[in-house]
Structure 1
Amino acid sequence: MRSLFNSFKDLSILIIGDVMMDAYLFGKVDRVSPEAPVPIVSVGKKEARLGGAANVALNIKALGAKPIICAIVGDDIEGRQLLDLFSAADIDATSLVKIVGRKTTVKTRVIAQNQQILRVDAETDTEINIEESNLVLNKFRLILERQKIDAIIFQDYDKGLITPYLIDEVSKSAKANNIPLIVDPKKRNFLSYKDVDVFKPNLKELKEGLKVDFDPKNYLELKNNTTLLKEKIKAKNILLTLSELGIYAINDKEDKLTPAHIRTIADVSGAGDTVISVVATCIAARTDIFLAARLGNLAGGLVCEKVGVVPINKDLLLQEALKAEEA
């Protein structure tokens, strides 16, 4: 396990996905507003953090690998703030494309007494056009020409960057260069990803994507519906996250459910970002899907113990992984 974690430092992982800024207002609630039946939050602290696909990049950096981000931002104040956050985190964001007139996605969370009480989203989720897609693809191809990439992540939040055209072009290049392609999908393009190495939906996304309903506690139903998805998109591996039930992984030969560890959950925000980051880094290091699933499952649980979107702590994850091996 230690040698696997040490190998992460030699890996470069490219993330193509919807970047956003996570803004936080931390405060306390002492009274209810006289204007409406809502709490009044007295703000004590404000924060801005990298979110969405940018949080995936943060997690990959925290694991010791090198993240490279290929995405779009708006040509606005929030876009400039996002670039500053990338710079402060020492993450390569030279392949970000500024789209004039587009709004940068910002999720503002109001947190009081360690609980999220409100989220306000400011965003544009219109799909980018062919010309804008080609600007992104030009950046992507330059990255492949200039450096070795060990894995590519599609981090899709349905915010408009990822289109069927972009998926097809990136997939062709990944295949031609023998680079594993790992997908964290959303609803809009759910069935557009074909022949990828790892496809990681959550239960809600799988049900909506296949238009099915089933009880995930029924193992046969779980297996049959995940197999149906696998066959439909011809993925090598499916990794289905099941919240408190854990993670279910399946490939051509076997399947396995890794139960979730009992945790004190403070905030589930960003847990999916952490899971895909750990899974992709493991796949880049050429581990099998079941070890990647176990480590992703551990990591997702660990970040849920923290308030707000935070990256994984590599040393803590290693300690937990070693403990799990001994159990």
Structure 2
Amino acid sequence: MKVETVLVSGGSGFLGGALLRHLDTSGQYSLIAALRKECSDLPPSIRRFLFADLTADVDWRDALDQVDVVVHSAARVHVMDESAADPLTEFRRVNVDATLNLARQAASAGVKRFIYISSIKVNGESTSPGIAFTADDTPAPLDPYGISKLEAELGLKALAIATGMEVVIIRPVLVYGAGVKANFLSMIRWVQRAVPLPFGAVHNKRSLVSLDNLVDLIETCMRHPSAANQTFLVSDGHDVSTTELLRSLSAALHKPSLLIPLPVSLMSAAAKLLGKEAVAQRIFGSLEVDISKNQRLLGWVPPVSFPRALDATVKPFLDARKK
């Protein structure tokens, strides 16, 4: 598929910004970044479309003029400590209503393909040992964020049928890379400070995806004819336990691995008493995805290895030590 002009929403975010910088470097596209505020991190060659808030009232007509592909990465993201009185309503307002508003206007403007960055939470929260989620599993979201992402997917699929605009859905697992925040950043800081951690005997399996691998799949889905109206899961194709991840981070940061092998059952019981079961599930539970569909339909395999991706992730911390 020929692609000339691309609109990326969430252009100042972790994923949207990385995608725009990558596409700009290739020199193959005319790029538009949809932003809530001006962003100095983007190349000056990228056009800006500013909006006050991501709602169902945004008028996208000027931004969508002559656009071939929309990559919608802006969202109300999942948070561990939700403060909204009615979280589902808040997630729906942004992740469903605002998404479908953009998609409807994109279809009216003649956009050929709409790529929606969804979430593995549409599949569910965990997998049993040796059984991975696939892109064609029956969705089973358990929290308001995952529910809102599924509802947006269903609305987009209906819109694709009604209008002929192609829709591609990508459900990433946990994304890491240079500039990562939240829990992954906390892990890096713990390891960098050589803090002893009680995770030396965790034998789960977690799928992760590096920012570079996710960006590469998105670009592939922008152009590949077989991506049309498909759903893809994405990972590095290299699943690790929590113990293995922390040891790999230690090696990348040139720090000793200070992992104490406490029993997982004991730590899980303590987490339950403290009301931290969701945190325990992320640390001790498994979540694996099968990305064989990506290779089968698109010929896509992750171009960046797990060790290289970890090195790129910790590079800012190593560079800071040299200053």
TM-score by length of 1: 0.42
Compare the two structures and name the one with the higher helix fraction.
2
TM-score by length of 2: 0.43
Compare the two structures and name the one with the higher strand fraction.
1
